[in-house]
Amino acid sequence: MKLSEITQKPQLIEVLLDDTEIVEEFGEELIFYTWDRQPLEIFMQLANLTVDADNNNGIIDIVRKLILDNKGKEIITPNNVLPTKVLMKAIAKVTELLGK
């Protein structure tokens, strides 16, 4: 099979935070979106982070690009942040998806 046969435009996928702790605190599961495949620029930024693990600003920039609303817009901005516990769970969920 040729690689060109499996290329396609990235699609938004729904990601569910539904563990007991989240549901107990917020009364329901939390939903966010991310891309089903990452654009090359994000992939390269992730690769560079593994080389420079002390680059906190780089990590923050990538996290912003991976946690999206249903229209593909970043939900973490300089003025809008998630509670730390939720942010950590969202990062873990996206990391899990990237590994698949």
For residue 67, the Cα-to-chain-centroid distance in whole angstroms is 4
Question: Residue 29: its pLDDT value, please?
Answer: 97
Question: Residue 76: its pLDDT value, please?
Answer: 93
Give the pLDDT band (50/70/90) at residue 51.
low
45 HSE (CA, 13 A, CB side): 17
Mean pLDDT of the chain: 86
Determine what percent of the chain is predicted with pLDDT higher than 70: 87
Say how far apart CA 28 and CA 20 lie, in whole Å. Answer: 9
Determine what percent of the chain is predicted with pLDDT higher than 90: 50
If one compares 82 and 57, the residue with the highest pLDDT of the two is 82
